[in-house]
Amino acid sequence: MLSVSDLEKRYGDETALADISFDLEPGSLAVLVGRSGAGKTTLLRCVNGLEEPDSGRIRLGGDAIGPTDAALVFQAGALLDGKSALENVLDGGLAREPVWRELLGWHTPAEKRSAIERLHAVDLDGYATRRVGDLSGGERQRVGIARALHQEPRVLLADEPVASLDPATARDVLDRLASVVRRDDLIGLVSLHQPRLADAVADRYLGLTDGRLTLDAPATDVDPDRIAEVYRD
């Protein structure tokens, strides 16, 4: 279980997050909603370790969350266009490989097989040698998910991963993300600007308003009016 307790984050005099507490279970996908500037990205970065909270705790299975326990899929993908899909996915495992392997571009056969399996998990069979710069937006985002999976995280985070995609492609990417969360028994947390896209994949909703948690409920208990309240507030 991922447990966030009394989390606060400030930037100077500005409070980005205040009194944030929630629990998320493995094998489920939580969708984080709220206006731009509500604190969604800050929360994801705190869980991922890219930001240090000013107070509060983040625990995974009762222990402090480690530097490789959470992987983040970025909105713009953060991929290297000149590399192949396989090479980008392999970058997800750099934390457990010697630096010289990356410098030489050499990886063990087992590591390559594992990376190819990540591509298969997001329906990119046969894409290993394709240059990422030549892929569509939806394909790029799925490579980003595969790279995050190759980190072997226990928590999979995604920050507006479908913001620049058309609705059909966005639903496909979210379906892939939800599928791997459930298949690998991961804890999933994804922020979205378009809550309607989450209808088919969300197990839980978290809503942020001005840095405070104003919604925390199972998806079965959340209707469009409850989500709209997060934005009205």
> pLDDT digits over 16-51, tens only?
999 999 999 999 999 999 998 999 999 999 999 999
Handedness of CA 91, 92, 93, 97 (dihedral sign): positive
The strand ranges marked E within 74-193 are 155-159, 187-191
pLDDT at residue 96 in the model: 66
141-169 in b/e burial notation, b at 16+ Cβ within 10 A? bbbbbbbbbbbbbbbbbbbbbbeebeeeb
When pLDDT is averaged across residues 169-195 and rounded to a whole number, the result is 92
Query: Which residue ranges make up each domain of the chain?
Result: 1-69+154-233, 75-152
Q: What is the pTM of this model?
A: 0.89
In sequence order, the β-bridge partners of residue 171 are none
pLDDT: which is higher, 163 or 220: 220
When pLDDT is averaged across residues 151-155 and rounded to a whole number, the result is 94
CATH of 1-69+154-233, one of 3.40.640.10, 3.30.465.10, 3.40.50.170, 3.40.50.300: 3.40.50.300
pLDDT at residue 205 in the model: 96
pLDDT at residue 1 in the model: 95
> pLDDT digits over 55-108, tens only?
999 999 999 998 889 999 987 667 889 999 999 999 888 766 666 566 666 677
Confidence of residue 215 (pLDDT cuts 50, 70, 90): very high
- Three-state DSSP at 194 gives coil
User: 94-108, 161-175, 216-230: lowest mean pLDDT where?
Assistant: 94-108
pLDDT at residue 164 in the model: 79
When pLDDT is averaged across residues 138-146 and rounded to a whole number, the result is 91
